Structure 1
């Protein structure tokens, strides 16, 4: 093993078989959401690092750390990409019948919420 081999992208082999069925279902739904910059799905890309499913409510945690915070143009692009990903997550989960959706970033900041409780439909 070379010094930096651990940094090489290792393809995931699908959904972890030990997950509860409702979590597997949500992961499969999120695999349909693509990062508009790379064309990869957000699960494969490693953006999804946590989720909770409680009946028809889903909470998703995303890893959206920016790599170039000093570049204002890069920040603007990143924010547009982030908004698109959030919109696509909400849309995909809504389409599958979830009625409360919350999406958080890596530090637990609520980025988006949708559902009956929030008056958004």
Structure 2
């Protein structure tokens, strides 16, 4: 299954968001997902299995519990693919530097204006 097919489902995206904060048990994941999406435990388990089979999560058994964690490799692949499009939402550094310089000039002009007003006594207070 392609990474975007996996990430296209809101339940699977939410599971990954939960796991981004750290490892969770399948029971903990089920509790949150059932509350937020109103789906059954078997449905949550199917999403967890799909995430595991697609390589987005790892599972660590501990007794009867299963601890899930994010496997970053598929997300890194998605990030590499998105790199070609990042320019559409990330301003170039040169443009950012221009905006910073413009802001500094504006603050300097305002400070000079305030200073001139105080020297001439043109306070309108």
Q: TM-score, normalized by length of structure 1?
A: 0.28
Greater helix content: 2
Q: TM-score, normalized by length of structure 2?
A: 0.28
Larger Rg: 2
Greater strand content: 1
